[in-house]
Structure 1
Amino acid sequence: MNADLPIDFAALLAKSPNPYVLIDRDLTIVWMNDAYLAATGRRREDILGQGMFQAFPSDPASESHRSLESSFSRVLRTGEVDELALIRYDIANPSGEMDTRFWSATHTPVHDDAGTVRYILQHTVDVTELHGLRRLRDEAGVFERAGAIQARNLDLAEERDRFRAYFEQAPGFVAVLAGSRHVFLMANAAYHRLVGGREIIGKSVLDALPEVADQGFVGILDKVRAERKTYLGERAEVLLRTEGSEELSSRFLNFAYQPIMGNGQVEAILVQGHDVTEEVAAEEAQKLLINELNHRVKNTLAIVQGLAAQSFRKLENGNEALHAFDARLKALAAAHSLLTERNWEPAQLADTVRSAVEATVGTDISRFTLSGPDMTLTPQTGVSLAMVLHELSTNAIKYGALSVDDGQVTVDWTTEAEQDACVLTIDWRESGGPRVAQPTRRGFGTRLIERGLSAEGENKVTLDFHPDGLQCHFVMRIEGRSR
């Protein structure tokens, strides 16, 4: 046979005894051969240019309609051949009545030069008569098994499609690496974005992402595979090549390498994580701002301290007043330092109490009993509470329990959650000190204790100058806080 002889494949299909029909991406019939017209009992002019479901109507909710439509969708989505081993699809006969018909169909994609599915070629065979013989073949169960297999295949295909959809839409990056060379089997959209949109499927990590080799990540994957243990990376810095460029950019990642076991061996490694580069950058910027704020606060306090020293020097008993004022400034500075260490985030109640007391009494902190459940305080509440505790501690040193060797101080607190708020109750109780008498005048320290927390919610302060020792009871209702 002459190999150069031109062959008209359209003519060959037109003369084929097998039924063929060609539909476009919109499922519109654009061509069919005579065998197809004979099998369906239709005329060319009646169905040419019509949609497949217009030419052969069916209930959209029926299994027949859904099976055929799903098969077409899979071909358009995957670009691969799809088969329907057995499908019941009733069609109208020439008299307009619906005939029960069974078919076996193969749907083959026809691609254009760009690789896009442009048409679907359907090869369909009427197997109604064969299906009618199923009663004679009950023992063999050919049709039942074929139907069951097709149903299982359809379920598996739908489950696979759902899994792929979930995988692609995962908020973090996900990939699956197989074998000792860590070849990419799967990677979702977030992972592709992370690596600059590079083609990585089917390639090893070393080939797909050569820049990570010298950064130790391939070695970590080898260790996970050898030891069969999950590896967790937290804010790990990775240098990755950006899309369309050879330059490396720094990214910070939280990720996990999870071994996937099969038959007692590591078959693959699941990579999953989140890009936290922006979060790390924001925290670094916040630290810079907080350090600058702390520096300026300390400078301001130093200036105030200098102004106070000049002002009090000219007053009678100025040294004593300056000492008290200076102590209050140091207490305020200590409260700011505690917040700076925590980047001005909410501070823990127990830390605030201990820090404020210890900054004032020093080693005499051993004479304190501190107890109560922990909770978080806003920065403003923490500073206010520290100032109040400083005044109470100073008073205990000068006049109260800490002015003698055997005196003790108990500070305990309770919290009670309310709707959209937390009620904090703190009790300060001194014992073992000199007998206490009601003061004849109220000084600045007393006023600060009573009003120092007034800016924080609904507060109530009670000072009891009990003969056995000063007692202070205050209740703070802090909106929007809970234990």
Structure 2
Amino acid sequence: MPSTNFAAILKGMPQPYLVLDTNLTIVGASDAYLALTDRTLDDIVGQSILVAFPENPDAAGTVEQGPLEVSLRHVLETGKPHEMAVIQYDIPQPGGGFAQKFWTPVHTPVVAGDGSIEYIIQNPMDVTESVLKAKEADARLRVAHHAADLASWEYEPETDIWRRSHAVDAIFGFAPGEGGPVAAPFFARMHPEDLSSVTQVVTDVMACPDRTTMSFDYRIVLPSGDERHVSSRGEVLRTSTGKVRMIGVLMDVTADRLREADLSKALAAQAELLEQKELLLAEVNHRVKNSLQLVVSTLRLQARRLEDPATSEAFSRAISRVRAIISVHERLYRNDNTLRVDMQNHLSKLCLDLMGDGPNRVVLDIDALELYTERAIPISVIVNELIAGSVNLSGEEGNPITVSLKGLPDGTIELSVTGQDEILPSKDRDLGKRLIATMASQLDGVVVEATNADGYRLSLSFHGRDS
């Protein structure tokens, strides 16, 4: 019986395959793999995979050799296949330089007759195109995280692979990349009294279905002995083989905890009651803002997974509505007056947040009014609903919109928004109108809509008492 030429079979396979021995040395590759990586067998056979495909020096901190090696050694230790999450691993070019590449490698052991592992087969799927298409959404998410002082992370309990933004390293007291590719050094810096609760959360979600949410708060003990307080939120993502991965965000809330301690001391001393009240209100506004910002970040994480345009648009509108409420608490927290909102300043910034810094499509006519929080929030939600709807309908070249807030001689206040014939998008109009009506009822106000030759106008009149 003629012998089988396994080398020829491997070489002709239509899928990209790389064969490694137990020392992670390359012993073979399919033609499809060589074409995908722009290499020849002479270039790579006999070399360690980490030498044959070195890190890109121009992408320090992004090329993920560490997680790749962890995955391969995990296969050697367990004898089980391992599917990696998306990693960046740039490919050196024959003429010099590197080509940016993103992959989802699958590592499968080849077991000998005696049960020992003889080889590892790597099947790398090139997902560069899809990753680059999502680059703009990822950039928006990074900007949102930066604005909210959030750091992102991704954890794989099976291998302990721990991928995170540089902000996570900074919070744990590591230089970028210093902590390595696994989570063990980071767990080692968690406060001993909090470590068990964190590991319990990880253990509990191992049997949970995809998209299960999780939350945990803990302290970090830095090498200097200083402590940091962290609040983290995340969710479960399962791979195609059912393995658990976790993604999430975390926030350094040390300043909040210190303020709580200061507030406790102030309350215990029962001194300067008015100052304590202001401090308490500032803390409440700050906490509400942080809590709602975590909600927005969680919605953004979930929105990235949506493919249906209508559902994605609904998420965007929900995020916009929550951000309108966040903006009020943000202004209160940053101003000396923790009870009243400067409506000129607030509505100007709210409209800027909604419309961006492009062409001026909003005309503001706002009196110098200061309103209590319970009045500022309904007004903000109504303006957000109308302006956001107009942005969705009109695009960059839409007609200008006028937002007016005036104090009238009889003591009432009138909010009006005027513009094109249709401001609320038709697919969301009923919900938008119900939301506006609900906000108006909180003000004991009357809403009047009118459409004529000059366009559309919505006005809301309410009593200006205590404003």
For Structure 1 versus Structure 2, the TM-score category normalised by the shorter chain is: 0.3 to 0.5
Q: TM-score, normalised by structure 2?
A: 0.36
Larger Rg: 1
Output the TM-score relative to the length of structure 1: 0.35
